[in-house]
Structure 1
């Protein structure tokens, strides 16, 4: 019998050859690894790396274990770019990530009853309305609607030199600055001027010459207005414009977009308004925008604070797409606030973010200046 067999039977002899066990660490020296689960990952980006097929110990695996530092939110990076691409906030209604994706009905202001118990007639929000449009700088047809109610002539605003001035004077100056600046950005933009008192009057037709619009802007007089005929304003706009139609809304840029900017200053009251099918179609058109600058006296009359908020909510509920901009300014505040609101409307409606996502500071942590004219 050979030596190998003797070793197997326990007979003294040469022991059989066995693997070198000295290379293995002792049980006390072995590294205990916790089970790798998706719940231990610190970000959604790391969870997506579970399907990574890279070799263990490679650079890709080391990168997974590092916590990525988010870039600061800047003007060129308004939503934090790819750092926030998978966050819950950016998944709904984020224009910077969704190529112009509009908000659903849950994101737009909902129609609620007035605090004083009065029901205001507002458009019924659709269950879901979502649209994507190309983010292009196509020509704009801007309809500027200037309120000529008596409240616009009251000298309550504080001008740059500390004296008192009226909202009409400031509105005329800021509209002229807006038209001339938009013309410098793109000379294909066209402007029209509408004045609103008891009725809406088309004062100047569409023109790309700022001088024609500005020539009709001054020498206007205010009147005592009993009500605001919003329905008549929309009917007038429908008669003067033709909304563009494209074969594919998501990929084909429109030849132009239509934007109405209403500068409004009246005591809160129920406007003359009833939602018609043509009006509903116009408000839901992805190429129509209705921006509002509401000048109110809420800071002066505390009793009317609820009323002007009702009026502001009414304008907000007209926005069925969540793509319009709305601003409210107190008539007793500084005039520079009106200029700042108008300057924020310079952005192209197809390229600007949703108003709740807009940031006008260089960095997210930067505090805005107390008084700063941005026009």
Structure 2
């Protein structure tokens, strides 16, 4: 069976791949690190929800709810589920398109404690046990939101990774919110561990943010609205729209050089 050609490698005369209904899994860090303050998000919603500094978890929850609303406008057949990331992955919400159920499940999410470890294999096993990633009738997108700067996840199993990385109906994306490098924080090492999840079939979009992210987290969530079968590779994205943001706010950073 031939592997579908991602939109990024198509020439201009080829048609885009069909935008299959998606099953989208939000994998949300629920460590106390997510209580860290993040600066105001100027485009946090029509009502300027985040005009004041807000915790990471509240910013993430608001943007996820907006993401769900916009995706359902595009296709009401999309379904969403939620996994919580404590020391292990916890299945929190079954797949549904019901906005009220999703809102209730997301609103109740809050930090569950301080964790010195995270079992990466528990996340991979949870996903594989809850959804058939080889079902050609839908496309699965896992969006990881992680906020720990000093907790490197465990090394993922090569066998589990192989099942996911060669799948033609699955992609991992990530938003990583972190503190500066210090004696206790190693954000580059954390980020590199998550990068091990990236696939050669459908490369994920990986974003990182410092405490002064402001509009960039909202922008990243907006970019992830693109259907994975029809989006370009991340490095090929047009960045002109970022110029105004990066001139006045934080810029894309090299984690080890964050100052």
Per-residue deviation, 1:207: 0.7
CA 1:309 to 1:239, structure 2 compared with 1: closer, same or farther past 3 Å? Answer: same
Counterpart of 1:354?
A: 233
| Offset of residue 162 of structure 1 | 5.3
Alignment partner, residue 148 of structure 1: 30
Q: Secondary structure at the match of 2:123?
A: helix
Shift of 1:327: 0.2
The question of 1:186 aligning with 2:41 is answered: no
Please say which of residues 271-280 and 284-293 is displaced more in the overlay. Answer: 271-280
Spell out structure 1 runs of 4+ moving beyond 6 A.
none
Which is further off, 262-271 or 231-240?
262-271
User: 1:367/1:294 Cα in 2 relative to 1: closer, same or farther (>3 Å)?
Assistant: closer
Instruction: Supply the distance in 1 between the matched residues of 2:51 and 2:133 (Cα, whole angstroms).
Output: 44
> Aligned ranges for residues 262-301 of structure 1 at < 5 Å?
262-298=144-180, 301=181
Unpaired stretches in structure 2, ≥5 consecutive residues: 1-6, 43-49, 249-259
TM-score (norm 1): 0.57
Q: TM-score, normalised by structure 2?
A: 0.81
Contact 2:21 2:137 in 1 (8 A): yes
Q: Is the 8 A contact 1:198 1:227 kept in 2?
A: yes
Structure 1's 99 and 327: CA in aligned 2 closer, same or farther, altered over 3 A?
farther
Identify if the C-alpha distance between structure 1 residues 272 and 174 changes in structure 2 by more than 3 Å, giving closer, same or farther.
same
Separation in structure 2 between the aligned mates of residue 210 and residue 145 of structure 1, nearest angstrom: 18
Q: 1:296 to 1:94 in 2, by over 3 A?
A: same
Task: Name the CA shift for 1:94/1:219 in 2 (closer, same or farther; >3 Å).
Answer: closer
Partner Cα distance (1:99, 1:261) in 2: 31
Deviations, residues 207-236 of structure 1 (Å, cap 9, x unaligned) = 112221111001323111121111101101
Q: Which residue of 2 aligns with 1:40?
A: none
Q: CA deviation at 1:370?
A: 2.0
Distance 1:274 1:314, change over 3 A: closer
SS in 2 for 1:144: strand
Q: Which runs of 5+ in 1 are unaligned?
A: 1-92, 101-132, 246-253
Q: SS in structure 1 opposite 2:39?
A: strand
Tell me, yes or no, if structure 1 residue 242 matches structure 2 residue 156: no
- Conserved in 1, the CA contact under 8 Å of 2:117 and 2:153? yes
**Using the alignment, how far apart are the partners of 1:369 and 1:99 within structure 2?**
33
Identify the residue that residue 172 of structure 1 maps to in structure 2: 61
Question: Structure 1 residues 241 and 150 mapped into 2: Cα distance closer, same or farther (>3 Å)?
Answer: same
The alpha carbon displacement at 1:269 in A equals 3.2
Higher strand share: 2
CA deviation after TM superposition for structure 1 residue 239, in Å = 0.5
Per the alignment, residue 45 of structure 2 pairs with none
**What is aligned with 1:219?**
108
How far the C-alpha of 1:151 sits from its partner, in A, is: 0.8
Would you say how many aligned residue pairs link Structure 1 and Structure 2? Answer: 233
> Which secondary structure does the structure 1 equivalent of 2:84 belong to?
strand
The reply on whether 1:320 has 2:199 as its aligned counterpart is yes
SS in 2 for 1:262: strand
**How far apart, in 2, do the equivalents of 1:99 and 1:221 lie?**
48
TM-superposed CA distance for 1:203, in Å, is 1.2
Q: Is the 8 A contact 2:116 2:151 kept in 1?
A: no
Output one character per residue of 1:218-269: Cα deviation in whole Å (capped at 9) or x when no partner. Answer: 1323111121111101101111011235xxxxxxxx3111110001000233
Q: Aligned-residue CA RMSD in angstroms? A: 2.7
Bigger relative CO (Cα 8 Å, ≥ 6 apart): 2
**Larger Rg: 1 or 2?**
1
CA separation of 1:340 and 1:204: change in aligned 2, threshold 3 A: same
